Amino acid sequence: MAWFRRKRSGSGGDARRGDDGAEAATESAPVGDAPDPRTPWPEQPVPDDPHAAAAEFWSTWAELLPHLSAALGEGDTERAENLLVEPVAAVHPGLQFSVDRGSRAIYALVVSSREDPELRPYTDAWREAAPPEDAIWEFHDSVPPVPDPAGVAVNFAGQRFDLGAVRVVAQVDDDAGLVDVAVHHPLLCEVDHFSRTTMTFLPLDVTLGERLAAQRLRRVETAVAEPDNAITLTEFRGLVRELAGLPADDGVRDDPAAGGAADDDTAGGHGGDASR
């Protein structure tokens, strides 16, 4: 998912040098000295009451909805995202969000705690206070899986990773209800360590969804060479969902805790980081 950070605003502007050699501010520049770029960005306050913060978000959402609809209707996703950065940050500055294509509606708003237990009360309150879904919007409090991971391609690190080529080996610990997994893709040997790590975890999140992956995966490794007895991502999802006592693939699209669709050409839609 492509997260972005809000641009930091600050005073400052162009300057020109006057006849006496002294610098003078242009008409477009504010009065005063420009901030020191080394100055730390101030920390945002964390609301004491998650439910009050969630109620404030949905009140702001109702006011923003016509502007969001206009921006998205014009294909300007960035403008829509910028409208949501401040309201999401006001719920909790550590949350991330994205505006994606929905599975039950045209658009999906996803607000994620990244399964941080300190942030979960805020996403839980946010989802609990959400308005009823309609034909335009659906809401998720964790990153959902895509209906068909084999149809997803991720452009990353100068490569195009077709997730249909991913193979995994899973070792199930039935007693613990957890899975150890090794992930292989033919291109993993051609990218650096950071990119290899990213493309090891991303297919699992895309396949299982953020919450199920956090609950059921224990050890995750990269397999540069294709291992024996490997299975596809779709087969892997069925295995993990069965372990969790969930329906196989037939429940993914309509599962309230899971279902959103990813763009066929990327791992997800555009998104934002409420933190700075």
Task: List, for residues 45-89, the tens digit of each pLDDT value.
Answer: 899 999 999 999 999 999 999 999 999 999 998 999 999 999 999
CA–CA separation, 171 and 178 (whole Å):
9
> SS3 of 202, please?
helix
Q: What pLDDT is recorded for position 238?
A: 96
pLDDT category of residue 43 using cuts at 50, 70 and 90: confident
What pTM was computed for the model? 0.68
pLDDT of residue 219: 97
Classify residue 231 by its DSSP letter.
Answer: B
- pLDDT tens-digit readout, 250-263: 545 444 343 333 33
Task: Name the residue with tokens 């979960």.
Answer: 120
Alpha-carbon gap, residue 92 to 51, rounded angstroms:
11
Please give the pLDDT value at position 193.
Answer: 95
3-state secondary structure 132-177: CCCCCEEEECCCCCCCCHHHCEEEECCEEEEHHHCEEEEEEECCCC
